[in-house]
Amino acid sequence: QGGGLHSLLLSLFAAQRSDVLADSQHSLAQLIRRRSPRARPEVLAAFEAVDRAHFLPEECHDHAYMDSPIRRDTIHQSAPSIYAAALDALDLTPGLSFLNVGS
C-alpha cells in the first residue's frame, strides 16, 4: 500500500505543476490517459463519458478542459488528474459509489 500512496502523491504534485489546455472533454481524457498510463480503464472511461463543463458555472467553461484546479468565488474543483488518481486509488467496483466532500 505504501507504494500506491507514493504514486498517488507523485501524481498529485505533477498535476499541480501542469496547466495544459485541451480543447474538448475527449482531448482532456486523452491527456489524463497519457499522464496516468496505469490507471484502470474504468477510471479513464469515466473521464471520456462525463463532461467537466457540466459541473462548472458558465463563466468557467473557458477553463473546463485544463488539467488544473478551478477556483471562482465559492467554486473549487481540483484538477481532473487529481480526481483520476483518487478514483483509481479507491479501487471502486460496480455497485460502489463515493462522495467528494470539499472544504
Contacts of 29 (CB under 8 A, 6+ apart): 44, 47, 48
How many CB atoms lie under 10 A from the CB of residue 55?
12
Q: What are phi and psi of 92, to 5 degrees?
A: -65, 150
Q: Which residues does residue 21 pair with via DSSP β-bridges, in sequence order? A: 66
Specify the amino acid at residue 47. Answer: F
Positions marked active-site: 78
